[in-house]
Chain A
Amino acid sequence: MMRETMRVTRARTPLVRGPLRRGNNNHTSGYSDDEWVTVSDESAWRAFETEALPHVDRLFRLALWLERDRAEAEDLVQETLTQALQSFHRFTSGTNCRAWLTTILQHVRSNRRRARNRAPVENAAIEERFAQTLAFVPPVPDHLTDEDVLGALRQIPETYQQVILLCDVQEMTYKEIASALNIPIGTVMSRLHRGRELLRVALGGSAASTAQTREMP
């Protein structure tokens, strides 16, 4: 039902012409002929500085959350921004630059993990394990602290953390998330659904334990 009734209302011109998001043959999507021909490197740098650099803080937070290692996160962000600078002529001004940068970050991270022969982020076994809807999803607790929320998020599998962060924190559309993670949009929706259920179960535990601590003399 969800698949039939949803659409991406914030759909934009495709942001990145990348190998991991190419589903059609419209290779000129996202290009601006005028930019290719007339924009000088100096003005391109100024545009990059204005459009991309304000997102470095949140980009770094996402990288650090995913990598759990500050040095790794710094390397990842640096490589992401270097690639973004090199490809900035392909960014369509006025579209969601944070989503564009996040997509590059996810691709860079995926390539780095593959190069190191580390397991991919997506894990079929986890998908299977959490494929069923939970029997009972508790309501969102009334009183939550930042620690409760981040602690609960950490408790759920990374596959689900990732889509929740991209959707709720990075404010990316389902379509943008699908492109960034190279997964079908239906998978994005099902992961968000399961992830939010799991988050609420985890939050129930966190909130209960916080309340218990508060009540202790």
Chain B
Amino acid sequence: MQCRDVRELLDAFLGDQLLVETTNDVVRHLETCPACRGELEGRRALRARLQSAFDGAVELAPRPEFLKEIDARLRTEAASRMTRRSWLRSWGAAAAALVTAISGGLYARSALQRSRLAALARTAAGDHQNCAIKFNLAERPIPLEEAARRYDPAFASFTTLTAPTGLPNGPAELLERHSCVYDGRRFAHVVFRYAGHVVSLLVTGGNESIGSSPEMLPADGPVQVASFATGRHLVFVVSDLSAQDTSRFAQAMVGPVSQRLANG
């Protein structure tokens, strides 16, 4: 190994980021090269100085009041989460009873279906926010294969779903596939990144009245929701892209999703 090669690797050597064999090569060179040893010591001293300067800089220190405030806020947040969870458990049972009562015939069928669809759109938006963005689900996601065995065989068809092509803002990238539950609703969840944004494709069982072409639905918060139906399934595309881009993304997914569900 020549001095030039060693110096290129010295920082990685200091950070313990080299292969064992490469580390041995560097060590062997250092044993016989005082100039590179000096260079190594200089870099080691610089790292140490940088760390101590950063940790010791008075102007970068947090205010003691801020540390107290943050501690108090986090404690409050933790306590409210405990309360919220127990409340949600009892609320969930009440909500289920209410939905059953409503489905008993209080409203006209079509109005009820639109209302259910809007509620499902909010649930899908909530799943996107809590699973894909904040990673804050109450129940751990499971693989699609397992969900297909236990809940809905059609979910297996999404194990091979790939990112859509031909989108106007460049290629989309597949990030993850799984099945998750939000607000009592189980979804097949495929996560993409497109134009720097996270996009969720959420599929769930349902026969609410909606067409096979994407339709924008109202959703709470900053996200857009496009939805279409295929067979006995509803498909939601959720993102914080513009409504137009979300709709285009959903449009690009109609063919692949419908084909998979039809074959599955």
**What is A's interface to B at a CB cutoff of 8 Å?**
1-2, 5-10, 16-19, 22-23, 25, 27-28, 31, 33, 36, 41-42, 44-45, 48, 53, 56-58, 60-61, 64-65, 70, 74, 77-78, 81-83, 85-87, 90, 114, 139-140, 144, 146-147, 149-150, 153, 164-165, 167-169, 173-174, 189, 192-193, 196, 199-200, 203
Contacts and interface: CB of A to CB of B under 8 A. Distances in A.
B8 A28 contact: no
A173 B15 CA distance: 8
Contact of A83 (B78, B134, B175): B134
Contacts of B54: 61, 65, 150, 165, 169
A17 to B, nearest CB: 6
B18 A5 contact: yes
Closest 5 pairs between A and B when the two form their complex, measured CB to CB: A140-B42, A146-B53, A22-B175, A60-B62, A61-B60
B52 interface: yes
Contacts, number: 161
B134 A168 contact: no
A91 to B, nearest CB: 11
B8 A2 contact: yes
B81 interface: yes
Given A56-B67, A81-B70, A87-B134, A6 B46 contact: no
Contact of B17 (A28, A173, A200): A173
B85 A41 contact: yes
Contacts of A150: 53-54, 57
**Main DSSP-derived SS at the A contact region:** helix
Contacts of B136: 86-87
B140 A36 contact: yes
B198 interface: yes
A53 B62 contact: no
A140 B70 contact: no
Contact of A10 (B16, B77, B82, B198): B16
B11 A193 contact: yes
B238 to A, nearest CB: 13
B74 A81 contact: yes
A45 B45 CA distance: 38
Nearest to B65: A74
A179 B85 CA distance: 31
A192 B14 CA distance: 13
Given A16-B135, A19-B193, A146-B56, A9 B198 contact: no
12 contacts: A2-B9, A19-B176, A45-B78, A58-B55, A61-B54, A61-B55, A74-B63, A85-B77, A86-B134, A150-B54, A169-B55, A173-B15
Contacts of A7: 17-19
A27 B143 contact: yes
B191 A140 contact: no
A41 B78 CA distance: 8
Contacts of B15: 167, 173-174
A10 B49 CA distance: 23
B205 interface: no
Given A61-B55, A193-B11, A169 B175 contact: no
B105 interface: no
B82 A31 contact: no
A14 to B, nearest CB: 12
A16 B133 CA distance: 12
